[in-house]
């Protein structure tokens, strides 16, 4: 994908995710979403089992699977539908996609800057702190604009 399209894609996803931002503060109910929703609706395990077309003993297992994190997305979707709800799945950034990319670009620019500074120091050509900061800031902006593949490569 071309760099300008990466930026546009990030901005579009950021806009989409803005509606989910307040969900970060919401913890999963202690009993899990399936059981909490079922109980809030006044639906018994037997009734949910009937709606899901599974045996009644499957419901406590399903609720436990959710709590332990082994329930599938398909099963969560089916359980939600059986309770006339919609299952929502999203990956929501802790800050913003922009800030995550900027932080990574800063890390990459810092690592590059340290390598260059070391070489320049050996050649008695080191930059002042202000020049180093300006150089690093320019590198961050370039990384943000170009979005090279190596932006997310592991540090070596």
pLDDT per residue as tens digits for the range 5-19: 888 999 999 999 988
- Residue 101, pLDDT score: 94
- Are 86 and 120 in a shared domain? no
In-domain check, residue 126 = yes
In-domain check, residue 26 = no
- Are 106 and 154 in a shared domain? yes
Q: Do residues 144 and 101 touch, judged by C-beta distance below 8 A? A: yes
Return d(Cα 56, Cα 36) in angstroms, integer. 17
- Are 83 and 52 in a shared domain? yes
The last residue of a domain, from among 92, 113, 133:
92
pLDDT at 115 over 80: no
Return d(Cα 17, Cα 64) in angstroms, integer. 29
The last residue of a domain, from among 57, 72, 92:
92
Please measure the distance between the N-terminal and C-terminal CA atoms of the chain and give it in whole angstroms.
25
Average pLDDT over all residues of the chain:
89
- Are 45 and 80 in a shared domain? yes
Q: Do residues 108 and 74 touch, judged by C-beta distance below 8 A? A: no
The boundaries of the domain holding residue 124 are 1-20+94-156
- Are 116 and 62 in a shared domain? no
Burial classification of residue 110, based on how many CB atoms lie within 10 Å of its CB (0-12 exposed, 13-18 middle, 19 or more buried) = middle
Return d(Cα 98, Cα 77) in angstroms, integer. 30
Q: How many domains is the chain built from?
A: 2
In-domain check, residue 25 = no
pLDDT per residue as tens digits for the range 63-109: 999 999 999 999 999 999 999 999 999 899 999 999 999 999 999 99
Beta strands in the chain (DSSP E): none
Between vectors from CA 151 to CA 149 and to CA 156, what angle results, nearest 5°?
105
| Residue 41, domain CATH | 1.10.260
Quote the pTM value: 0.75
The last residue of a domain, from among 92, 116, 139:
92
- Are 71 and 88 in a shared domain? yes
In-domain check, residue 5 = yes
- Are 88 and 132 in a shared domain? no
- Residue 116, pLDDT score: 65
In-domain check, residue 65 = yes
In-domain check, residue 63 = yes
In-domain check, residue 67 = yes
Q: What is the share, in percent, of the chain residues with pLDDT greater than 70?
A: 92
Return d(Cα 131, Cα 139) in angstroms, integer. 12
- Are 99 and 151 in a shared domain? yes
């Amino acid at each position: 994908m071309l760099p300008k399209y990466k930026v546009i894609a990030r901005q579009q996803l950021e806009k989409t995710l803005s509606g989910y931002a307040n969900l970060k503060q919401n913890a999963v109910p202690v009993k899990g979403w399936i059981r909490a929703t079922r109980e809030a609706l006044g639906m018994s395990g037997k009734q949910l089992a009937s709606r899901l077309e599974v045996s009644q003993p499957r419901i406590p297992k399903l609720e436990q699977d959710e709590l332990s994190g082994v329930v599938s997305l398909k099963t969560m979707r089916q359980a939600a539908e059986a309770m006339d709800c919609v299952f929502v799945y999203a990956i929501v950034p802790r800050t913003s996609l922009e800030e995550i990319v900027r932080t990574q670009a800063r890390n990459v620019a810092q690592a590059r800057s340290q390598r260059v500074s070391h070489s320049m120091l050996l050649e008695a050509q080191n930059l002042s702190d202000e020049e180093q900061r300006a150089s690093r800031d320019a590198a961050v902006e370039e990384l943000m604009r170009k979005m090279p593949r190596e932006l997310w490569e592991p540090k070596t």
